Structure 1
Amino acid sequence: MDAEDYADRLEAEKARSTVQLLFKAARLLNERAIERVRAKTNRPLRIAHTSLLPHVDLEGTRLTELASRLGVTKQAAGQLVDELVEMGLLERVADPDDARAKLVRFSKRGRAGILEGLAVLAELGADIERLVGPAKMRSLHEVLTAVVHAEAARGPAVEQQRPAGGDRRRR
């Protein structure tokens, strides 16, 4: 199969895949949401930041746990946290269970920012509803809710692993 035939087949397979369309829609909507948040807040938010935010528990999360949840090194997670702290969205506080450890949690501005982000998502939802109509939007919401519940009930599909270069202790 030559490169042109492969490219045609690849595009045809992707177009037939509902899950591929879901991934693409999610990526495009995430980009649009970030664009709107940047315009409203003047914050230099990036996709990497929005990948980290859902993993921050409201009561706070240790950096090592954030790195594990993201599947990145502690240093990579730390860089994202540093950037979000600089933006005023996250803060580091003492861990009440371990005086040596710190928790990363949303700052007051960060909690407000989450609500602002959800308002942007509501705007994007309204845009989609104008495109497809209220009935299809309700159906889409019902289908996605069912998928999320079913996948969440199954548990993590991929075991969290240390990234390459992670724990190098001898066992």
Structure 2
Amino acid sequence: MAKTRREFERALEAAKSASTGQLLIRAARLFNERAVARGRTLRGLDLRPAHTAVFPHLSLEGTRMTTLAEKMGITKQAVGQIVAELERAEVLCRVPDPSDGRAKLVRFTAAGYRAVLDGMGVLREIENEFGAELGEALMARLKRDLTKLLAAFEGAAS
């Protein structure tokens, strides 16, 4: 066990640097921060990472708030706040759930669809920049390896 704060910090940094999981988390966070910062300038939306975290979990038909909360690992109240902010920005809307009159579905507005497509363009732009810096072969290998890793995670979750 580390005896001093300084020893603990060194041990923690060494453990984090040796951890593939930590490297993935850190890279994803930095990539997301860069993408969100660039995305803000596209449509003048005041987006935060909490907002963009909702997007991958929305189906085109719409998704219930409880499902969003479960998939995001946050409370329904927190999802409600994020969705309300995105409704005010006219990115999302709530519509009646045709299978349950008491429930609402959250889905993209027409402007929201355009914003998401713009955001995907930002992701491609950033990937291309990394490709220019790291080399296309490395980026292709990284994509292939991450695709395999995701398949393994998704298979384990089933």
Q: Who is 1:38 aligned against? A: 40
Q: Who is 1:21 aligned against? A: 23
Shift of 1:103: 0.8
Normalising to structure 2: TM-score of the pair?
A: 0.94
Q: For the residues of structure 2 that align with 1:94 and 1:86, how far apart are their CA atoms?
A: 18
Q: Who is 1:160 aligned against? A: none
The letter of the residue matching 2:142 is: L
Shift of 1:12: 1.2
Q: For the residues of structure 1 that align with 2:73 and 2:118, how far apart are their CA atoms?
A: 27
Pairwise CA RMSD: 1.2
Any conservation in 1 of the 2:42–2:118 contact (CA below 8 Å)?
A: no
In the alignment, does 2:86 pair up with 1:101? no
Which of structures 1 and 2 has the larger relative contact order (alpha carbons within 8 angstroms, sep 6+)? 1
> Percent identity at matched positions?
45
Shift of 1:72: 2.1
Shift of 1:31: 0.2
Q: Who is 2:57 aligned against? A: 55
Kindly indicate which of the two structures has a greater share of residues assigned to helix: 2
Normalising to structure 1: TM-score of the pair?
A: 0.87
SS of residue paired to 1:72: coil
Aligned length: 156
Q: For the residues of structure 1 that align with 2:4 and 2:35, how far apart are their CA atoms?
A: 38
Q: Who is 1:79 aligned against? A: 81
Q: For the residues of structure 2 that align with 1:67 and 1:144, how far apart are their CA atoms?
A: 25
Shift of 1:43: 0.5
Q: For the residues of structure 2 that align with 1:50 and 1:140, how far apart are their CA atoms?
A: 23
Gaps of 5+ in 1: 157-171
